[in-house]
Structure formats: structure tokens, C-alpha cells
Amino acid sequence: MQGRGPGVPAVEGVPADGSVTPFVDTSKPSVARVYDVLLGGKDNYEVDREFCRRTLEINPQAPLLARAFRQWLVRVVRFLSSGPGIDQILDCGSGLPTAENTHQVAQRINPETTVVYVDNDPMVIAHGRALLEENDRTHFIDADLRDPEALLAHPAVAKHLDLSRPLALIQCATLHHVEDEDDPRDVMARYIEALPSGSYVAISHFHDPADGSELSELARTMEANLRSAIGSGRCRTYAQIESLFGGLELVEPGLVPAVDWWPEGPRLQPPADVEYIAYGAVARKP
Ligand SMILES: C[S@@+](CC[C@H](N)C(=O)[O-])C[C@H]1O[C@@H](n2cnc3c(N)ncnc32)[C@H](O)[C@@H]1O
């Protein structure tokens, strides 16, 4: 949190249920906390802020990348709630609570919507879950999104989500933290297999056009920076990201830069280059 810096001993998190005491490692930045810094949050440490300062030296517009993902998430949840009328959402890799969280967006449209958040970052588990579990239709589970079978069999999922009715599975800015050796395509195939007909899958991901362009170079530089400090983060090509949908038909406009996925309205200025690293799409399981 604000004010604690490197060298300060790691803190124990606040147990949400009195039995779990997550260990927050403050010796290196974490994905969830860095994302929080970039979104202007306060649930982070000096080590995260220092990493973000270095990132800003590489690209001063880096916070726009985080914002592009987050705003895409808000528009997707709004669409899912108001269009197909999805009223149960599994939000994988929730991150730390921020201004607009999935349950707030969805429940504003349909107060009956149930949201189950998943994350495995100790800071999110310790601190975020209390804020995310805002009402009796909002739940949080500490689980690894790379293990679909365990996640879907989690007692809280079984209790709060009806897997015989359509639901939305959201992976916003999460799967690029799943390494190739953990086979994100196979992970998603297993989720998709388990989803009932009429369900939606929303994925956003770091994109590398891999065409020798300046944008590709920027993607590679951002990836190297992230991996050197956090140890994960893969920019993938259009075909690699598309394959995560397991052949499902994509809702219009398909897989596009997140900023181009049903923007709020006319643009007053062109998006920054870095925003074109965030790609996203939504698919429906027939
Ligand atoms: C970049 S943040 C995105 C947060 C949120 N989905 C959003 O877009 O605003 C990625 C989140 O995924 C979580 N995450 C990464 N790998 C995970 C895993 N294997 N299991 C569960 N959560 C994971 C991180 O802890 C982090 O909170």
C-alpha cells in the first residue's frame, strides 16, 4: 500500500475468512499491483511504482494500455448483461478492485446478476476480496485459472453459478500471463468444453503483429520489460489469440484492438500506439 517501500518486511494479508493468511511478497512487483498503479489505484508498493516509473521511461503512454483493457472489460460486461441477458459471470483474474468492477457494471443493468471473481495474487486475496464481495451475489475465490477443472469444481462456483445455464467466462488481460508451456489454448479449450450452450467467452490479450513494424518492436520491448521484472507476460500474434477461442464464432466486430471493440462514441483523438497492443474479442458457444 502507499508509503511502504522496498526493504520493508513482507506483510501478512488480512485473512478474509479468518483461516487464510496470504503472504504478500513486497520484494518484487506483482501483475495485479502493477496494473493497479497503472490504473491510478492505491493498493500497491514502492517496488510496483518503481517498476511503473521504469516502464514510463520506455513508453510514457503505458497507462493507456491498462486503461484500454479495463474499458474494454466494462463495455463487454455491459453488452453481455444488456444484449444476451447473461446473468452469471465468472471473471478470471479479477485484479484489485478499481473504479468500475464487473459486478457493479453488470448489477447496474440486472441486480440479479451473480459474479464470481477468481484470482491467485495474495494482495487481491487479502485485500481485494473484501471489497469485491460487496453483496450476496458477488463472490471471490482464490484459485489458479490455469486449472479449469479445479476452478469449476470449486465449492463456491458450484454453489453460486448454475453450470447448466448460459454464463460468461471473462479472461481480461490474464491469458498473456499463462506461459506457452502451460498451454493457454488447451486451458481455454477445457473451459469451453465445460461451458453450457449459449455461454459467452470474452478474452483480451497482449498482441504482437509480428510484422517487423514499430508496433511489433514496441510490443517486444514491453514484453521484455514485463518478463524481466514479473516473470510473465507474452505478446501473442492474432492467430495465437484467435486460437484461444477454440473455433467459436466471434461476435461482431471479431478480434480487434480493444479500443476498437464497440467504442463508447466518436473519438476525439486517435488512440496511442501502445493501445494497439491490447486486443480483445467475445465469442458465443452455440
Ligand atoms: C493484468 S491483471 C487484469 C485484471 C482484470 N482482469 C482487468 O483486466 O482489469 C491480471 C490478473 O490476473 C491474475 N492472474 C494471473 N495469473 C493468474 C492465475 N494463474 N490464476 C489466477 N489469477 C491470475 C493476476 O493476479 C492479476 O490480478
Ligand 1 center from residue 173 Cα (angstroms): 7
**pLDDT category of residue 154 using cuts at 50, 70 and 90:** very high
| The pLDDT of residue 137 | 96
Q: Assess whether the C-beta atom of 174 lies below 6 angstroms from ligand 1.
A: yes
Ligand 1 center from residue 162 Cα (angstroms): 23
**pLDDT category of residue 18 using cuts at 50, 70 and 90:** very low
Determine the atom of ligand 1 nearest the C-alpha atom of 39: 9
Ligand 1 center from residue 234 Cα (angstroms): 13
Q: Assess whether the C-beta atom of 141 lies below 6 angstroms from ligand 1.
A: no
| The pLDDT of residue 6 | 31
Report whether pLDDT(90) > 80.
yes
Share of the chain above pLDDT 70, in %: 92
Q: Is the dihedral of CA 129, 222, 190, 181 positive or negative?
A: negative
Q: Assess whether the C-beta atom of 144 lies below 6 angstroms from ligand 1.
A: yes
| The pLDDT of residue 21 | 57
User: Where do runs of H (alpha helix) occur along the chain?
Assistant: 31-38, 46-58, 62-82, 102-109, 122-123, 129-132, 148-152, 155-160, 184-194, 214-230, 238-243
pLDDT tens-digit series, residues 107-133: 999 999 999 999 999 999 988 788 888
pLDDT tens-digit series, residues 187-244: 999 999 999 999 999 999 999 999 999 999 999 999 999 999 999 999 999 999 999 9
Cβ-contact 168, 199 below 8 angstroms: yes
Cβ-contact 224, 232 below 8 angstroms: no
| The pLDDT of residue 99 | 84
The secondary structure of residue 102, as a DSSP letter, is: H
CA-closest residue to ligand 1 atom 13: 93
Residue with cell 479449469: 148
| The pLDDT of residue 13 | 36
| The pLDDT of residue 1 | 38
Residues paired with residue 124 on neighbouring β-strands, in sequence order:
none
Output the average pLDDT for the chain.
91
Q: Assess whether the C-beta atom of 93 lies below 6 angstroms from ligand 1.
A: yes
Length of the chain counted residue by residue: 286
Q: Assess whether the C-beta atom of 31 lies below 6 angstroms from ligand 1.
A: yes
Determine the atom of ligand 1 nearest the C-alpha atom of 145: 20
Which residue type sits at 36? D
Report whether pLDDT(15) > 80.
no
Closest CA to 46 of 97, 98, 7, 5: 5
pLDDT tens-digit series, residues 57-67: 999 999 999 99
Predicted TM-score (pTM) of this structure: 0.93
Average pLDDT score over residue span 39-55: 94
Closest CA to 66 of 206, 229, 269: 206
| The pLDDT of residue 19 | 45
| The pLDDT of residue 127 | 80
Cβ-contact 102, 170 below 8 angstroms: yes
Ligand 1 center from residue 97 Cα (angstroms): 12
Q: Assess whether the C-beta atom of 127 lies below 6 angstroms from ligand 1.
A: no
Question: Residue 210: how many CA atoms within 13 Å on its side-chain side?
Answer: 10
| The pLDDT of residue 132 | 84
Ligand 1 center from residue 268 Cα (angstroms): 31
Q: Is the dihedral of CA 42, 47, 48, 50 positive or negative?
A: positive
Average pLDDT score over residue span 15-27: 64
CA-closest residue to ligand 1 atom 9: 70
- Phi, psi angles (nearest 5°) of residue 284: -120, 135
Ligand 1 center from residue 280 Cα (angstroms): 15
Ligand 1 center from residue 266 Cα (angstroms): 30
